[in-house]
């Protein structure tokens, strides 16, 4: 019999689709007829369609997300032109809200809104019997997590060796931040812990070493958090890497002690700070204790080896650029290894839309629906922040130029303002924000610090060389080579675990 195809367009090849594997694991008697065909957004829609139709499918299920919405629309358009008789089922966050406004939903045969783990197989059975659901939009009831078959056995050897493995111990979020889809994903539900840990043990035995937990608030339930950390600690081996999203103002002593056990490079903690402006936070229904947040982040930096990734959002209703700049500087003073500067998005279905008129919020019409301007931050300024975020990622978050970037705001000046000035100077030369080599960055930093900031050339060369030495890079630009000695090229310590690149580059920074 022709197969049922489960497909989606991942952001990158290394991102194994968690959602498809959940659907596959819960197909029941249809599992032997179902195949997963993963693609990514860098492939041409025509090539994706060719790949899907080569399987001679009886129906196709597509996962639609904010990062692949535009490309998936092109795929569905082509499928409906080339093979209009093949039913298409859509699911995922992007089509679970406001489906009546989306062309892709109009083209599809069925749209499942919500968590489709169990509902997808039910809809497939109906279509295979020659029937259609009473309505095109099929709401999926919140499934009982104890009844869901876990998908982890579907990660194959290639996934374990080359891709990010997504796992989750819970779903939902207790908070109501209006920019986030999790604000409408209530209540928080836990997967039964023992079966979950048994699956983690099976992955470890098969050689898995990198686990990305997608739980929105890993540290919400202390007993569960401690049990998971203890599970991995008891089985710890070099190369193990765990990523958790945490609530930054919730870090009780027992959790602190559990985190502090892990060696460098083993834990990455993503802390959603988002804003230091209390009025903006209250306006978007975000509850946060800033004093406790700062205390916790300093503890993580000073007394643990966890890699700390913190998030800020630019463009929140009622927060000016001056306020955001102050928040960035305040967060940088807490010394997280990475600060991700995000632009506010109006994701479909999120309550952030209620502020549109009051604060003049103008968003892009297409995914990912980023803010273009508002009544406090005009379009040119928002463009500057976008470039700032890109360049900060290239130079600081990447770990490539930690010491040299810090020279840009020496003397107690505002890091945000100083880096923004460099951003605009560099952009005037480059006219792009991607595909910039490390050598080009080195030359731009050298020129800016010596020509604009008036720093002595020898001093800038020394700090640039320290960055090259720390990261172990050998492709040193020509203008620095007269200062280079073989001993300055860093090498990995004997027995050092193989870690994600960014974490490895930040380790020597301490």
Contact 487/380 with Cβ under 8 angstroms? no
Please indicate, yes or no, whether residues 131 and 168 belong to a single structural domain of this protein: no
Please indicate, yes or no, whether residues 207 and 289 belong to a single structural domain of this protein: yes
CA–CA dist 209, 242 (Å, integer): 8
For residue 322, give every residue at least 6 positions away whose Cβ sits within 8 Å of its Cβ, in sequence order, or none: none
Please indicate, yes or no, whether residues 191 and 50 belong to a single structural domain of this protein: no
pLDDT of residue 486: 41
Q: Assess if residue 385 is contained within a domain.
A: no
Please indicate, yes or no, whether residues 200 and 337 belong to a single structural domain of this protein: yes
Question: Residue 437's CB: how many other CB atoms inside 10 A?
Answer: 10
Which residues of the chain have a pLDDT value below 70? 1, 183, 185-186, 482-501, 507-510
CA–CA dist 95, 3 (Å, integer): 24
Q: Assess if residue 157 is contained within a domain.
A: no
Please indicate, yes or no, whether residues 318 and 462 belong to a single structural domain of this protein: no
Please indicate, yes or no, whether residues 129 and 192 belong to a single structural domain of this protein: no
CA–CA dist 147, 118 (Å, integer): 9
Please indicate, yes or no, whether residues 326 and 355 belong to a single structural domain of this protein: yes
pLDDT of residue 488: 40
Alpha-carbon distances, residue 268 vs 150, 210, 213, 300 (angstroms): 24, 11, 10, 11
CA–CA dist 308, 301 (Å, integer): 7
pLDDT of residue 99: 95
Of 143, 172, 196, the last residue of a domain is 143
Cis geometry, peptide bond prior to residue 216 (ω within 30 degrees of 0): no
pLDDT of residue 353: 94
> Residue 9 maps to which CATH number?
3.40.50.2300
Q: Which range marks the domain in which residue 27 is found?
A: 4-143
Contact 68/11 with Cβ under 8 angstroms? yes
**Secondary structure string (H, E, C) spanning 352-402:** HHHHHHHHCCEECCCCCCEEEECCCCCHHHHHHHHHHHHHHHHHHHCCCCH
Please indicate, yes or no, whether residues 90 and 171 belong to a single structural domain of this protein: no
Query: Can you name the residues that pair with 114 across neighbouring β-strands?
Result: none
Q: Assess if residue 153 is contained within a domain.
A: no
Please indicate, yes or no, whether residues 192 and 249 belong to a single structural domain of this protein: yes
| Domain tally, the chain | 3
pLDDT of residue 499: 61
Please indicate, yes or no, whether residues 484 and 357 belong to a single structural domain of this protein: no
Of 332, 362, 377, the last residue of a domain is 377
Q: Assess if residue 394 is contained within a domain.
A: no
For residue 474, give every residue at least 6 positions away whose Cβ sits within 8 Å of its Cβ, in sequence order, or none: 489
Secondary structure E strands in 220-374: 241-246, 267-274, 307-314, 338-343, 362-363, 371-373
What are residue 320's phi and psi, to 5 degrees?
-80, 170
pLDDT of residue 480: 87
What are residue 218's phi and psi, to 5 degrees?
-60, -35
Specify the DSSP class assigned to residue 144: -
> Residue 369 maps to which CATH number?
3.80.30.20
**274-297 b/e with 16+ CB inside 10 Å = b?**
bbbbeebbebbebebebeebbebb
Written as six digits, the tokens of 33 are 């007829």
Written as six digits, the tokens of 153 are 């056995």
Please indicate, yes or no, whether residues 189 and 323 belong to a single structural domain of this protein: yes
DSSP 419-430: HHHHHHHHHHHH
pLDDT of residue 302: 97
How far apart, in Å, do the first and last CA atoms of the chain sit?
58
pLDDT of residue 491: 42
Q: Assess if residue 77 is contained within a domain.
A: yes
DSSP 430-473: H--SSS--HHHHHHHHHHIIIIIS---HHHHHHHHHHHHHHHT-
Please indicate, yes or no, whether residues 198 and 292 belong to a single structural domain of this protein: yes
Q: Assess if residue 386 is contained within a domain.
A: no
Q: Assess if residue 228 is contained within a domain.
A: yes
Q: Assess if residue 152 is contained within a domain.
A: no
């Amino acid at each position: 019999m022709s197969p049922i195809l489960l497909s989606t367009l991942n952001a990158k090849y290394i991102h194994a689709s968690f959602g498809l594997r959940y659907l596959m694991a819960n197909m029941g008697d249809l599992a032997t007829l179902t195949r997963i065909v993963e693609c990514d957004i860098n492939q041409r829609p025509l090539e994706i369609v060719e790949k899907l139709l080569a399987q001679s499918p009886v129906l196709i299920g597509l996962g639609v997300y904010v990062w692949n919405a535009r490309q998936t629309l092109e795929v569905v358009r082509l499928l409906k032109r080339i093979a209009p008789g093949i039913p298409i089922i859509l699911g995922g966050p992007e089509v679970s809200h406001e489906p009546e406004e989306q062309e892709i939903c109009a083209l599809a045969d069925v749209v499942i809104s919500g968590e489709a783990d169990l509902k997808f197989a039910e809809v497939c059975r109906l279509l295979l019997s020659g029937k259609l659901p009473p309505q095109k939009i099929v709401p999926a009831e919140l499934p009982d997590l104890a009844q869901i078959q876990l998908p982890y056995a579907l990660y194959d050897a290639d996934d374990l060796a080359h891709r990010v493995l997504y796992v989750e111990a819970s779903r939902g979020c207790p908070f109501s931040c209006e920019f986030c889809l999790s604000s409408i994903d209530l209540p928080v539900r836990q997967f039964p812990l023992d079966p979950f840990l048994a699956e983690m043990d099976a992955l470890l035995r098969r050689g898995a070493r990198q686990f990305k937990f997608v739980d929105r608030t890993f540290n919400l339930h202390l007993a569960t958090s401690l049990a998971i950390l203890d599970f991995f600690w008891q089985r710890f081996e070099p190369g193990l890497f765990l990523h958790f999203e945490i609530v930054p103002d919730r870090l009780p002593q027992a959790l602190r002690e559990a985190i502090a056990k892990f060696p460098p490079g083993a834990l990455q903690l993503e802390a959603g700070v988002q804003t230091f402006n209390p009025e903006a936070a209250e306006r978007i229904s975000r509850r946060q204790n800033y004093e406790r947040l700062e205390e916790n982040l300093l503890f993580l930096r000073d007394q643990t080896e966890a890699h700390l990734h913190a998030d800020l959002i630019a463009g929140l209703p009622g927060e000016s650029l001056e306020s955001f700049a102050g928040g960035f500087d305040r967060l940088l003073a807490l010394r997280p290894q990475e600060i991700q500067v995000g632009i506010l998005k109006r994701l479909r279905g999120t309550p952030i839309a209620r502020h549109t008129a009051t604060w003049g919020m103008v968003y892009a019409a297409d995914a990912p629906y980023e803010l273009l301007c508002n009544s406090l931050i005009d379009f040119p300024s928002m463009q500057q922040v976008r470039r700032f975020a890109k360049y900060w990622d290239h130079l600081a978050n990447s770990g490539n130029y930690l010491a040299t970037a810090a020279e840009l705001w020496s003397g107690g000046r505002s890091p945000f303002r100083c880096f923004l000035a460099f951003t605009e100077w560099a952009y005037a030369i480059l006219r792009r924000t991607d595909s910039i080599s490390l050598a080009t960055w080195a030359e731009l930093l050298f020129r800016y610090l010596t020509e604009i900031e008036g720093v002595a050339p020898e001093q800038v060369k020394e700090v640039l060389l320290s960055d090259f030495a720390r990261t172990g890079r050998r492709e040193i630009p020509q203008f620095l080579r007269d200062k280079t000695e073989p001993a300055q090229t860093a090498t990995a310590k004997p027995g050092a675990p193989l870690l994600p690149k960014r974490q490895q580059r930040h380790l020597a920074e301490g």
